[in-house]
């Protein structure tokens, strides 16, 4: 059960906010050292600040619930509340009334624990295996003549079966639809690019193209001055491989 102390229940005032952000930056480095190593100090600060803003937009205005929400951003991605794989998150947050935040935070925390057990597995074994599969998958010189929601869902099940089971097929199809629309906004229609975008949304969380914890995704996909839109995703694929190689090497799992 999530325990929120009286000190944690005090709303954040302006003088205390900066100190609290500093604490969360330290917490980030301690809890997610591999991810923290991919960001510079300014990027860490930006990501932490965005997480607190997101928590506050959900009606979490005190230290305990905000800290818990921040931890879930690290675990599931900053857009986890709107991620179809984690439909329980939106249900737990519900009316976003600050007066109900302690109870809602407790419910969200309990649901998150169940999701972590199912998706990450003992000692994160499922998550590490999924990252290795994604790394190998992205290296395959495959061409997709066409992709649709069902074929994309099948690919995602092969990459991380535990997460696919947790979210369900409808969630996987919705991720594909989101990814396809995102590619179209960038002027990219190639099946391989759409499948890559779906895989990134699945692996790093829905909304990962705007996630400050993974700034390389959006920065690469939306880089200015790229004359051929499809080149954005060729570069993104290469960047993803570099990122995954670095994480796997640090964990001795490459």
Average pLDDT over residues 56-79: 95
For residues 209 and 217, what is the distance between their CA atoms, to the nearest angstrom? 5
Co-location of 245 and 126 in the same domain = yes
Q: Kindly tell me the burial class for residue 72, based on how many C-beta atoms sit within 10 Å of its own C-beta (0-12, 13-18, 19 or more).
A: buried
Co-location of 22 and 84 in the same domain = yes
- Report the pLDDT value the prediction gives residue 224, as an integer from 0 to 100: 87
- Report yes or no on 1 lying in a domain: no
Domain end point (choices 86, 120, 154): 120
Average pLDDT over residues 154-162: 97
Average pLDDT over residues 135-157: 93
- Report the pLDDT value the prediction gives residue 30, as an integer from 0 to 100: 94
Residue 213 neighbours by CB distance under 10 Å = 25
Co-location of 41 and 72 in the same domain = yes
For residues 27 and 97, what is the distance between their CA atoms, to the nearest angstrom? 26
Average pLDDT over residues 231-244: 94
- Report the pLDDT value the prediction gives residue 13, as an integer from 0 to 100: 64
> Whose CA is closest to 179, among 190, 168, 164?
190
Average pLDDT over residues 209-213: 97
For residues 254 and 234, what is the distance between their CA atoms, to the nearest angstrom? 22
Co-location of 87 and 137 in the same domain = no
Average pLDDT over residues 80-100: 94
Domain around 93 = 6-120
Average pLDDT over residues 40-67: 95
- Report the pLDDT value the prediction gives residue 142, as an integer from 0 to 100: 85
Q: Is residue 211 predicted with pLDDT exceeding 70?
A: yes
Co-location of 116 and 179 in the same domain = no
H or E stretch including 126? Answer: helix 125-139
Contact criterion met (CB below 8 Å) for 104 and 72? no
What tens digit of pLDDT does each residue of 95-132 get? Answer: 889 999 999 999 999 999 999 999 999 999 999 999 99
Co-location of 159 and 241 in the same domain = yes
Question: pTM for this structure?
Answer: 0.90
- Report the pLDDT value the prediction gives residue 146, as an integer from 0 to 100: 86
Count of the separate structural domains present in the chain: 2
- At 8, is the pLDDT very low, low, confident or very high (cuts 50, 70, 90)? very low
Backbone angles phi, psi at 83, to 5 degrees: -85, 125
- Report yes or no on 143 lying in a domain: yes
- At 12, is the pLDDT very low, low, confident or very high (cuts 50, 70, 90)? low
């Amino acid at each position: 059960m999530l325990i929120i102390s009286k000190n944690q229940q005090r709303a954040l005032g302006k003088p205390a906010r900066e100190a609290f952000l500093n604490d969360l930056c330290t917490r980030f480095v301690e809890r997610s050292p591999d991810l923290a190593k991919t960001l510079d100090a300014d990027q860490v600060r930006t990501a932490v600040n965005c997480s607190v803003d997101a928590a506050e937009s959900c009606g979490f205005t005190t230290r305990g619930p905000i800290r818990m929400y921040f931890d879930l951003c690290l675990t599931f991605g900053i857009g986890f509340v709107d991620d179809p794989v984690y439909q329980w998150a939106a249900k737990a947050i519900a009316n976003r009334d600050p007066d109900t935040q302690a109870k809602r935070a407790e419910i969200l925390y309990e649901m998150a624990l169940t999701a972590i057990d199912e998706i990450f597995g003992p000692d994160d074994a499922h998550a590490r295996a999924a990252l290795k599969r994604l790394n190998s998958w992205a290296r395959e010189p495959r061409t997709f003549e066409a992709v649709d929601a069902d074929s994309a869902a099948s690919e995602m099940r092969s990459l991380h079966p535990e997460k696919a089971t947790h979210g369900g097929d409808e969630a996987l199809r919705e991720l594909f639809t989101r990814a396809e629309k995102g590619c179209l906004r960038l002027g990219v229609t190639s099946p391989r690019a759409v499948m890559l975008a779906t895989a990134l949304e699945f692996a790093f969380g829905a909304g990962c193209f705007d996630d400050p914890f993974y700034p390389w995704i959006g920065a690469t996909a939306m880089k200015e001055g790229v004359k051929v839109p499809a080149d954005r995703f060729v570069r993104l694929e290469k960047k993803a491989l570099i990122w995954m190689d670095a994480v796997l090497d640090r964990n001795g799992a490459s």
